[in-house]
């Protein structure tokens, strides 16, 4: 078994996660933390693979994933040093080495809309308008400082509400969906 404290090589990482089922295992361990029973892990992986909820997973689907995890995938991930699997207790847990793998969802909520750009544009527009009010340029002289402040607060509040709504919608869609990954290595 590879040393848990050694940094995984790119080859080891890509070999360990080249199979989608193994990526699901690592994602589940990173997302939920702590030791996980193999049966629970098999149910969730089967749900993702079958585009179903955990409660909709059939016994045969769960057993198929359970067997493959037990016989093939968990031993490979343990050999790569990213998890510990105790077959006698049926418990799986991530290692410190697994924390060095940066499995990111390809459908990250921040990719749904460039909210950071909207906030930057709104800040720039607000700054230009503030400078125009301060210099007394027309038509900005038609707006008092207090009115201008209220408009900026209302604009940022509206964008923040839309951002919150978008994030909630994304979370509802992604809650039970199978994760789709981008793999990045921390260099």
Ramachandran angles phi, psi of 108, nearest 5°: -55, 135
Domain boundaries, the chain: 10-105, 109-174
What mean pLDDT, rounded, does the chain reach? 80
Helix (H, G, I), strand (E, B) or coil at 63: helix
Q: What is the pLDDT of residue 83?
A: 87
Q: Look at 102 and 164; give whichever has higher pLDDT.
A: 164
Under a CB-based contact definition with an 8 Å cutoff, are residues 78 and 90 in contact? no
User: Global pTM?
Assistant: 0.55
Q: What is the DSSP letter of 179?
A: P
62-88 pLDDT, tens digit each: 999 999 999 999 998 888 888 899 999
Residue 36 φ/ψ region, left for φ over 0, alpha for ψ in the -120 to 50 degree band, beta for the rest:
beta
CA 173/CA 13 separation, integer angstroms: 29
Residue range 10-105, CATH number: 1.10.10
Residue 47 has pLDDT above 70, yes or no: yes
Of 2, 184, 186, whose CA–CA distance to 80 is shortest? 2
């Amino acid at each position: 078994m590879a040393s848990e404290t050694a940094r995984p090589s790119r080859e080891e990482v890509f070999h360990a996660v080249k199979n989608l089922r193994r990526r699901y295992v690592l994602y589940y361990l990173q997302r939920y933390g702590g030791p996980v029973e193999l049966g629970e892990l098999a149910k969730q992986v089967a749900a993702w693979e079958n585009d179903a909820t955990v409660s909709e997973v059939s016994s045969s689907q769960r057993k198929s994933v359970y067997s493959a995890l037990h016989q093939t995938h968990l031993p490979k991930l343990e050999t790569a040093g990213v998890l510990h699997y105790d077959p006698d207790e049926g418990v799986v847990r991530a290692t410190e080495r697994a924390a060095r793998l940066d499995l990111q969802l390809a459908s990250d909520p921040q990719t749904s809309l460039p909210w950071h750009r909207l906030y930057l544009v709104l800040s720039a527009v607000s700054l230009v308008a503030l400078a125009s009010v301060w210099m007394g340029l027309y038509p900005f002289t038609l707006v008092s400082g207090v009115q201008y402040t209220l408009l900026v607060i209302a604009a940022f509040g509206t964008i923040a509400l839309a951002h919150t709504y978008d994030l909630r919608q994304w979370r509802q869609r992604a809650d039970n969906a199978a994760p789709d990954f981008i793999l990045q290595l921390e260099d």
